Chains A and B, each alone.
Chain A
Amino acid sequence: MAISVDPPEVSKRHCQKMGFTYPFLSDPKAEVVRRFDLLHPGAGPGGADISRPAEFLIDATGTIRWVNLTENAAVRARPEQVLKAFDQGSAQADR
């Protein structure tokens, strides 16, 4: 699932335009963003507070298995990175 400070209607337009089918959650006051310590103050248009890019892989127990805190907003996790982390987590769980 994706999370940003965008309101639901903006996320919906984006999903319809790009064809995304997974949940896009709205955190307009950046409360969850702050809880995860991912706030990037004033980095949005007009000095808006936004989230820095980050990805977390969480297993069914709610435990974090993989974290990607990019140091460059242009560089995001590739799908193969996430799948590899998922496979490694599944392998450990099977032992």
Chain B
Amino acid sequence: MKRRWNWPLWTGFLLALAGLFSYAVFAQFPITRDFPWANLLLFGTGGIVLILGLARAFGRPQVYRGKMFGPILAVLSLLAFTLFDYGVLYELRQMPASAGAPRVGEKVTEFTLPDQNGKAVALTDLLSSSDGAVLIFYRGHW
């Protein structure tokens, strides 16, 4: 008897891959970037579907394929989940203490830096022509 294609194994694996790579899209929206619930949902759903596929492969091997590649896909999915957790839930939270950063009430130190057109911009010049300013320090290398 020809054994059936075990679609939950492949679907679960693809959901895990989607969970890993879709953060590049979800990261554009604060609601899915600040805490990656959408990605964790994809991983969770993928995990459940994979388990269903493994249960079929090992529980009814005469009906379903997957006793060999099922565990391989499961391990790869687990690796994708681990990689995601390490990057998004651990690495992004490794921030320096910055105990010496200026605090509320302190005067900011003056500085002059070139802008995107190469023109020197002094902080005092910007402040003198406005009601204030928002300084946004960002990581760069985008």
Contact = CB atoms under 8 A, between A and B. Distances in A.
A9 B140 CA distance: 12
Given A1-B121, A12-B117, A74-B92, A67 B141 contact: no
Given A62-B108, A69-B98, A43 B117 contact: no
Given A12-B117, A32-B113, A48-B141, A57 B101 contact: no
B104 A66 contact: yes
A45 interface: yes
Contact of B102 (A12, A36, A71): A36
Chain B interface extent, by class: 35 or more
Interface SS, B side? loop
Contact of A51 (B106, B111, B139): B139
B134 interface: yes
A74 B114 CA distance: 27
B136 interface: yes
Contacts of B123: 58, 62
A8 B120 CA distance: 11
Given A12-B117, A23-B121, A40 B139 contact: yes
B96 to A, nearest CB: 5
Residue among B93, B99, B113, B136 with most chain A CB within 10 A: B136
23 contacts: A3-B136, A11-B115, A23-B116, A23-B126, A24-B115, A26-B116, A33-B137, A35-B109, A36-B101, A40-B95, A43-B139, A52-B137, A55-B136, A58-B127, A62-B123, A63-B106, A65-B104, A69-B95, A71-B95, A72-B92, A73-B93, A82-B134, A89-B132
Interface of B: 27, 30, 33-34, 36, 88, 92-96, 98-111, 113-118, 121, 123-124, 126-128, 130-142
